[in-house]
Structure 1
Amino acid sequence: MKVHRLLPTEDAVDLIGLVEEIADGELAPRVADFEARGEFPREAVRTLARAGLFGLPYPQEHGGGGQPYEVYLHVVELIASRWLAVAEALNVHTLSCHGIAHFGTDVQRKQHLPDLLGGELLGANCLSEHEAGSDLASIATTATRDGDDYVLRGTKAWVTHSGIADYYAVYARTGGPGARGLSCLLVDADTAGVLPQRPEKKMGVSSSPTAQVVFDHARVPGDRLIGRPGKGFLIAMDALDCGRLAIGACAVGLAQAALDYAVDYARQRRQFGQPIMSFQGIGFLLADMATAVSAARALVLHAARLRDTGRPFSVEAAKAKLFATDMAMRVTTDAVQVLGGAGYVADHPVERWMREAKLLQIVEGTNQIQRLVVSRAL
């Protein structure tokens, strides 16, 4: 069904129109094939990047789009409704630029941001480790100063774009134990000693590679340290707040796609001489799905508007991510139920959307962590 969006400017209206055109023409026709083959759609991603979508929330003076986060999230949602892996690529790349944009020096921003936002490079974030997922303060990867360089040693886990990224934002320990000992470095992917590992075999989002990255005495110039030593945890937490909003938008897009597909199916599928949409058992289920999608969208955009006006938004981001991703899991599962047996086979995309929705309850902080954030704020 048509989503009626309240956009802040005419430029934003035109942007959404462009994104819809690209998503319908370049993404929707290809997603099933690329997901089946487990191949990353680098050219499709590059098309979006060259259209300026990979720098939307960053300043125009550095090559960004200068758009409010609210508008950026509308774009993420639209792309996710056609291809979640591509929306995730947009989110991951945007977050890989976050440290430089918000915590880097003026020199670093002028030197690096135009290239990072220019459309040809693809970024990744090296944050989690096998023993440091929710507990980021226990990161064990080290960056030891050696002359003018830092030497990186350690292994990062669950790195989206591992092996295909052009650069990595790496969070490593430059100081003592705990959160205050962490820093963030911008590392070129072709640096000697940066060793992407075999991609993980996942239950969904197969066209987006996820793997470990080993840093085996990788030497990184000292001027690639973002901001000051010891700011890594702060950078990570700030980026995660923004990332949670984007994951919420991904969840809304995925659920909207599942809802639309289920409604179309229920209008066409006939039993007992009438469309199954006419039976309350189906109609009420779809009504609940539609209401949940709208509620999640409103929660995500409310948090984004707080961010855009400079107000605290961390707790609202946690609420939005929590509610939207749990909603997406329910709505995609219910979409499978509406289709019945047809929903359980790969001929229809609802089974893929259900598998993809599970990921969103885990990434950018599990939903248990979001509940912890909200409950502590109370």
Structure 2
Amino acid sequence: MTEAVATATELVPVLAQHAARVDAEAAFPHESVEALRAAGLFGLLVPAEHGGMGGDLGDLVDVAVLLAGGCLSTAMIWAMHCQQVDAVARHAGERLRGELLPRIAQEGYYLASVTTEPSKGGHLLTASSAIQVEDEDLVVRRSAPIVTGGEHADGFLITMRAGPDAPPNRLSLIHLDRSQTDAKVVRGWNPMGMRATRSVGMELAGTAAGHQVIGEPGGFRQIAVDSMIPAGHLAWASCWLGAARGGLDGLVSLIRSRKQPHNIAVDSDVVRHRLARARIDLELSGSYLLRIRDEVLRRRRTGATLDERSFQTRLDTLKVVCSELTLSAVDRLVQLGGAMNGYQRDAPVPLERHFRDLRSASLNYSNDRLLGAIGTHVLLEGAGRLFTPEDDL
């Protein structure tokens, strides 16, 4: 067991303790986030030379699964922060890395992602707003309909067109510290699920120095392909899997306890079949998650490109599969629990909350968009090549 996994295991009860309240209030989970900060987990992906835990995306997967079993909203806030840290660690210049990464490791500096825009929704690789240059400063004015945890972020990573004359697909990624930013909340957050993520609408205005551009100006696509997309899909899938697994384990523990619900008979074939189907959904999700995790780690270890259409299709498939199957598993558990132990908000196992939270998974970077991209690739390649043992070499 790694240090990060041991730490996360200890913190799961803390997250679970506050999960129902922050969900009911649609409130940012301050206590849980502070616990993660104090434990050093905000610096999981910060290299050891900058004071962090020196973890990789495999550690991100392991920790996210655990944390989501306590509170999916908190786990998602943390996981999306880690996605931003990965981009900084891999692509920022030496000066920004030296300034920012130690703060993330030592202070738990929280980075929020600003990639949505009113005119284009969540499409990652385009933008409307452009960076303006005044003297040697970079002027940022940006509207975003969804910024997870934006009210409480210490800094932002923002996608924008590289300049006023740049096309919509030539983007830069720029860091703005909270102290450099006039950040206004322009839309609240009262959703069905994922309520504690506080994914509010914001308007940001500020001025940054040139070294706060991450990667080459106009080169965001490389960062997205190498870092943000694989880290994001792995992180999201892990969080969804962890929440669904927590629901299954919780219901099984209830059935096996002295408080066994009268409507759930352990000798019933229907009960066992529903439990089996839920477990199968999670087995399939988890197996594919680990397969893609291993491929990402192998490609990073060997220096192989991630910018390959077949591999991008597998990443997109991971997101679609896990978003659909984890919701399917919890839906089966709600049906099994029935009106009292599956559908009630105050049931012993929070299946109702898990269901509402996981319903958002297909909307979080829309499955419809990903299925369109996958379908286009199918027209070019057909079924493609299945994984073979050589993929592990």
Same fold (TM over 0.5): yes
Q: What is the aligned partner in structure 2 of residue 357 from structure 1?
A: 358
Q: Deviations over 1:332-360 (max 9, x none)?
A: 11111111111222112111110000112
* Contact 1:84 1:250 (8 Å CA) reproduced: yes
RMSD, matched Cα: 2.0
State the AA in 2 paired with 1:301: L
For 1:20-78, what per-residue CA distance to the aligned partner results, in whole angstroms no more than 9, with x for missing partners?
11212x11122112222222122321221232222223321122222232222011000
What is the match of residue 41 of structure 1? 29
Q: Which string of whole-angstrom CA distances, capped at 9 and with x for unpartnered residues, describes residues 105-162 of structure 1?
A: 1222122211123343211011011222353444112211111111112311211012
**2-structure distance, mates of 1:19, 1:197:** 34
Given the alignment, which residue of 2, 10, 15 partners 1:27? Answer: 15
On the 8 A contact 1:242/1:317 being kept in 2, the answer is no
Partner of 1:221: 209
Of residues 338, 345, 349, the one that matches 1:340 is 338
**Residue 228 (structure 2) aligns with:** 239
2:171–2:218 contact (8 Å) kept in structure 1: yes
Are the counterparts in 1 of residues 4 and 41 from structure 2 also a CA contact under 8 Å? no
Are residues 1:92 and 2:90 paired? no
What corresponds to 1:143 in structure 2? 131
> Does the Cα contact within 8 Å between 2:43 and 2:105 map onto a contact in 1?
yes
User: How many angstroms apart in 2 are the aligned matches of 1:170 and 1:304?
Assistant: 26
Runs (4+) of structure 1 exceeding 4 A deviation are none
What is the 5 A alignment of 1:198-277? 198-216=187-205, 218-237=206-225, 238-267=227-256, 268-271=260-263, 275-277=264-266
Flag structure 2 segments of 5+ consecutive residues without an equivalent. 382-393
d(CA) in 2 for partners of 1:361, 1:17 = 30
For 2:128 and 2:118, how far apart are their aligned partners in 1? 10
Aligned counterpart, 1:372:
372
Cα shift at 1:285: 0.9
CA shift in 2, pair 1:223/1:74, >3 Å: same
Match of 1:323 in 2: 321
- Contact 2:65/2:241 (<8 A) preserved: yes
Measured in 2, the distance between the counterparts of 1:179 and 1:255 equals 38
CA distance in 2, matches of 1:191, 1:107: 17
Match of 2:176 among 175, 183, 187: 187
CA–CA separation in structure 2 for the residues paired with 1:322 and 1:247:
11
Residue 113 of structure 1 corresponds to 101
Q: Percent identity?
A: 24
Give 3-state SS (helix, strand or coil) of 1:276's partner: coil
How far apart, in 2, do the equivalents of 1:119 and 1:327 lie? 37
Which residue is 2:389 aligned to? none
| Cα distance in 1, alignment partners of residues 134 and 117 from structure 2 | 24
The alignment partner of 2:174 has SS state of strand
C-alpha change, 1:230 and 1:83, in structure 2 (3 Å) is same
Moved more, 143-152 or 91-100: 91-100
CA distance in 1 between partners of 2:223 and 2:155 (Å):
17
SS of residue matched to 1:278: coil
Deviation readout 1:250-308 (Å, 9 max, x if unpaired): 1110110121233234441235xxx5232111210110111221221111111111111
CA distance in 1, matches of 2:224, 2:121: 12
Which residue of the partner structure matches residue 77 of structure 1? 65
Alignment of 1:52-71 (within 5 A): 52-71=40-59
Q: Which amino acid aligns with 1:27?
A: L
Given the alignment, which residue of 281, 286, 294 partners 2:275? 286
Amino acid at match of 2:294: R
Secondary structure, aligned partner of 2:245: helix
**Higher deviation after alignment, 350-359 or 261-270:** 261-270
TM-score, length-scaled by structure 2: 0.86
